[in-house]
Amino acid sequence: MILACQNLSKAFGEHIVLRNASFHIEEREKTAIVGINGAGKSTLLKIIMNEMPADEGQTVITRGKTIGYLAQHQEMESGNSIFDELLTVKQDVLDLEARIRQLELSMKHVSGTELQEMMDSYANLSHEFEQKNGYAWKSEITGVLKGLGFTEEEFAKKVDTLSGGQKTRVSLGKLLLSRPDIIMLDEPTNHLDMNSITWLETFLMNYPGAVIIVSHDRYFLNRVVTKIVEIDQGNVTTFMGNYTDYAQKKAMLRDAQMQAYLNQQREIKHQEEVIAKLKSFNREKSIKRAESREKMLDKIDVLEKPTEVKADMRIELEPRITSGNDVLSVLGLSKAFPPQTLFTDLDFEIKRGERVALIGSNGTGKTTILKILNGVLPADKGEFRLGSRVQIGYYDQEHHVLHMEKTVFEEISDTYPTLTNTKIRNVLAAFLFTGDDVFKRISDLSGGERGRVSLAKLMLSEANFLILDEPTNHLDIVSKEILENALNHYTGTVLFVSHDRYFINTTATRILDLADQTLTNYIGNYDYYLEKKETMTDFTSSVSGTTSNTAAVSAESDAKLDWKQQKELQAQLRKKQNELKRVEARIEELENRDKEIDDLLTQEEIFTNVAEVTKLSKEKETILNELESLYEDWETLSE
């Protein structure tokens, strides 16, 4: 055990955040802390770091162990470049290297005992230098910076000139390089693109120390963690496994708790009815029996009603009218912000009922495509056409459609005057606005809160084509699941940009990958995309030495195929893969039979029987001829 939290309690006024919370972390264990927004996840991390006192209880860290913490928001002031800022973490290594170099110079001018002492010191320092990976500090820093999405051209940028998200990435890089025994990360994926998140996953999975993560990125948690610590209404519960394991166990536990609660409530109601009836008899014995039952009832430890995560918080999306089958056609779309070209000659179509995820690295132009489709930005070249009866509902991250002077409640009620107060409150609750929060003015909300209001408005619209730009930003896991459920039951069409891989995996029926200024189409969810991308990468690597130009032209052409052609090609590929398996199975069958014949021909009762030898020899010849043909087929199919 490397960290233990023992009976921690914390309240802010009457709001209890933690109630007798106890859990422990083992060495090398990867743990997630989960709970709805406001549950107390960040508070728990601050208590562990002694940045905030607990009302009761204590945190114990094994003696001599180090801990590193990355909060959600970083206020970093530094005149260093990005590279030099990370280099500060390696100052002890640089000092060690300087001492080694100084010893090397000094040893040239001494002899005897003094030389021996210097050589011993040199050996010890060299060993320490090697233990600290001193020979690779430069490549280590470069690897972390590139992994977190910085290009080499950006290494020289001054930290003071960076955005808040970039500063957070620099802070994350420094923490990872410092290699503490315990890493604590609060929403580490918020400012990373997909490639950087994948890199961070691999880094943390292989990290030799313990890791504690607060994150709403369920795909990330599934890949990295092996334990979940849940905070729910102040209570802390530990679940072994990744996020999916936790969600399944939590659902089962909630069902059991709800059943126990309902059973107890039924029993209480029954006892109250019996007591009332006994009292109504107005006899001495019946009154005594009623009093006896009342005493028993008073001693019952009444169970709390379990949190019903999705009760009264269901969003039902239903278009007012059904669109035509052809929802969107894009032809030759190009856009540049000189000197940078985002994309050229994009062609794609979207059909009714599809849920299409547009993915790609930061800066490739995903949001720009959505803005062009909504008339916010003009294209440099190309055109797009909407199908018949298509009505767009657009969610952008800048929230131009909100009225700053209105309250949250008014924003919804004025837009949808036919909705009841209860319906409005239920919808707002699904997007984390409860109680007096609904009477806050839009102008007083944070950017994330405004995003949730915009999303709530969109979810109530009757559009049949939803275009969403990062719809899950600022949502907790429960709200994401509500949105996923709504989109999966939506009979209209959806095009969305998201970095949330779990959300993409759950909702998308097709993926458009924007890379190298063009689109590649994948018919399936995110897992399918990863599988096919890996296959394509392996294939490209195997032929790059001799056919790099041809492959580049072919890849560019393939990327421009419309969805029907892609589907047809993928069907052909599956057919060939099945044929390859059939050929391999037949080869194995014939080779086994060939070995059996060879064994038979060594047996005396066989090789002394001329007729049997002739028969087996002919069969062997037939097998060899068929095998030769199958080997050729296998080679062709493998290509």
**Rounded-to-integer distance, Cα 324 and Cα 588, Å:** 52
Partnered with residue 210 across adjacent β-strands are 182
Average pLDDT, the chain: 86
| Look-up of token digits 């037949």 | 586
Residue 330, pLDDT above cutoff 70: yes
What is the model's pLDDT at position 510?
95
Parallel, antiparallel or unpaired: strands 381-386 and 326-337: antiparallel
Residue 561, pLDDT above cutoff 80: no
Q: For residue 339, say if its preceding peptide bond is cis, omega within 30 degrees of 0.
A: yes
Q: What is the SS3 string spanning 429-450?
A: HHCCCCHHHHHCEHHHCCHHHH
Per-residue pLDDT reduced to its tens digit, 261-277: 899 999 999 888 888 88
What is the model's pLDDT at position 58?
94
Beta-carbon count within 10 A of 314 CB:
13
**Rounded-to-integer distance, Cα 68 and Cα 168, Å:** 14
Per-residue pLDDT reduced to its tens digit, 72-114: 766 777 889 999 999 999 998 899 989 998 988 888 888 888 8
Residue 559, pLDDT above cutoff 60: no
Global confidence as pTM: 0.69
CA nearest 577: which of 639, 525, 524, 627?
639
5, 42, 419 from 32: Cα distances, Å: 15, 12, 39
Parallel, antiparallel or unpaired: strands 3-12 and 15-25: antiparallel
Q: What is the SS3 string spanning 341-400?
A: EEEEEEEEEEECCCEEEEECCCCCCHHHHHHHHCCCCCCCEEEEEECCCCCEEEECCCCC
**Rounded-to-integer distance, Cα 571 and Cα 576, Å:** 9
What is the model's pLDDT at position 223?
93
Q: pLDDT band for position 392 (50/70/90)? A: very high
Q: Which amino acid is at 538?
A: D
The helix-helix angle for 137-147 and 164-178 (nearest 10°) equals 140
CA angle 449, 31, 189 (to 5 degrees): 40
Range scoring the smallest mean pLDDT among 73-82, 213-222, 479-488, 501-510? 73-82
Per-residue pLDDT reduced to its tens digit, 147-165: 998 999 999 999 998 888 8
CA nearest 147: which of 185, 224, 203?
203
26, 347, 430, 454, 483 from 504: Cα distances, Å: 33, 22, 20, 20, 12
What is the model's pLDDT at position 467?
94
The stretch 518-530 carries a mean pLDDT of: 92
Q: pLDDT band for position 310 (50/70/90)? A: very low
